[in-house]
Amino acid sequence: MKALKTVKGTIASSFFTLSLWLFITTAHADSLKSAQVNFKQQISELESTFGGRLGVAVWDASSGFQLQYRGNERFAMCSTFKFLLAASVLAKVDAKEESLNRVVTYSTSDLLDYAPITRKNLRNGEGEMTISQLLAAALQYSDNTAANLLFEPVRGPQGLTTFMRSFGDKETRVDRIEPHLNTNIPGDERDTTTPNAMLKSMKKILLGHVLSEASKNQLTQWMLNNTTGANKLRAGIPTYWPVGDKTGSGNNGAMNDIAIMWPDADDPILVAVYYTGSKEPFETKNHVLEQVGRIISQQFSPH
Domain harbouring 107, CATH code: 3.40.710.10
Do the domain assignments include residue 17?
no
What secondary structure does DSSP assign to 17-79, as a single string?
Answer: HHHHHHHHHHHHHHHHHHHHHHHHHHHHHHHHHH-SEEEEEEEETTT--EEEESTTS-EE-GG
Q: Is residue 275 part of a domain?
A: yes
Measure the CA–CA gap between 241 and 238, rounded to whole angstroms.
6
Mean confidence (pLDDT) of the chain: 93
β-bridge partners, 68: 57
Summarised one tens digit per residue, pLDDT across range 217-240 is 999 999 999 999 999 999 999 999
Report the pLDDT value the prediction gives residue 140, as an integer from 0 to 100.
99
Residues of the chain with pLDDT under 70: 1-31, 303
Judge whether 28 lies within some domain: no
In a domain, 40, yes or no: no
Q: How open is the CA angle 158-160-164, to the nearest 5 degrees?
A: 115
From CA 200, how far away is CA 216, in angstroms rounded? 15
CA distance 153 to 89: 7
What pLDDT does residue 13 have?
59
* Catalytic-labelled residue, pool 13, 31, 44, 79: 79
**Angular region, 184: left φ>0, alpha ψ -120 to 50, beta rest:** left
Asked whether residue 7 is assigned to any structural domain, the reply reads no
User: Residue 54: beta bridge partners?
Assistant: 275
Task: Tell me the C-alpha distance between 62 and 217, whole Å.
Answer: 19
Q: What is the pLDDT of residues 13-50, one digit of tens each?
A: 556 555 544 444 454 455 678 889 999 999 999 999 99
63 in active site:
no
User: Number of folded domains in the chain?
Assistant: 1
Query: pTM to 2 decimals?
Result: 0.90
Tell me, what amino acid is at 6? T
Domain assignment present for residue 26? The answer is: no
In angstroms, what is the C-alpha Rg of the chain? 23
Q: Residue 296: inside a domain, yes or no?
A: yes
The H-or-E segment that residue 123 falls in is: strand 122-123
| 226, part of any domain | yes
Which range of residues forms the domain containing residue 106?
51-300
